Structure 1
């Protein structure tokens, strides 16, 4: 299934996100902008593979949870994007970090623990 593609793209997104934050913190805005553009391309891969996984749940009894997981995943992408944008401008980030943590936890719990295409029993 596309589960491996989806997880790989998320891991890559977290790595690229960390690189953007490190580059922004060290003042290398041009490098951070380039990596952020690559991160945005990875967001498209995440959305594509997540959409295929969501489509696999159509007609399943857990369709509602799958839709909620998809919305939480989009929320996590939005929070990552806002943190990477605002870190370059040195704006307050506390609220966005809290939102990112909540969205990622919801997504991981539903993806790995509740929904059938996850890895946990």
Structure 2
């Protein structure tokens, strides 16, 4: 399940940046890619929920992961509406780094830290 979750995250992040660049360039197919990105958000939620076995730090990681997905969505929506995205980018980067640290340092993650 860990591999499916990581794969979903990697594809979700790639789709996020693809959708962002398509929205910025005014590509009409951006809406379709945005919907596919949202499907990967759901896959990330489902696989992440299945990985929860202990409610200690794992619950914190889950909440921060949800914040990352929310920030990704807010960047895309605010870009589409032509609004400022600086705060959402900062939130995304900080939360993403934190969730990576938690994910890699917890017992089910890789032993980098």
TM-score, length-scaled by structure 2: 0.95
Matched, 1:120 2:111: yes
Which of 1 and 2 has greater Rg?
1
Q: CA RMSD in A?
A: 1.0
Matched, 1:91 2:95: no
TM-score, length-scaled by structure 1: 0.89
- Of 84-93 and 73-82, more deviation after overlay is shown by 84-93
Structure 1 runs of 4+ with >6 Å offset: none
Q: Note the residue ranges of structure 1 that are not aligned, 5 or more in a row.
A: 58-62
Measured against aligned partners, the alpha-carbon deviations of 1:1-31 in whole angstroms (never above 9, x if no partner) come to x110000000000110011111111111x31
Cα offset, 1:105, TM superposition: 1.1
Equivalence for 1:25: 24
Cα offset, 1:74, TM superposition: 0.3
- Report how many aligned residue pairs link the two structures: 112
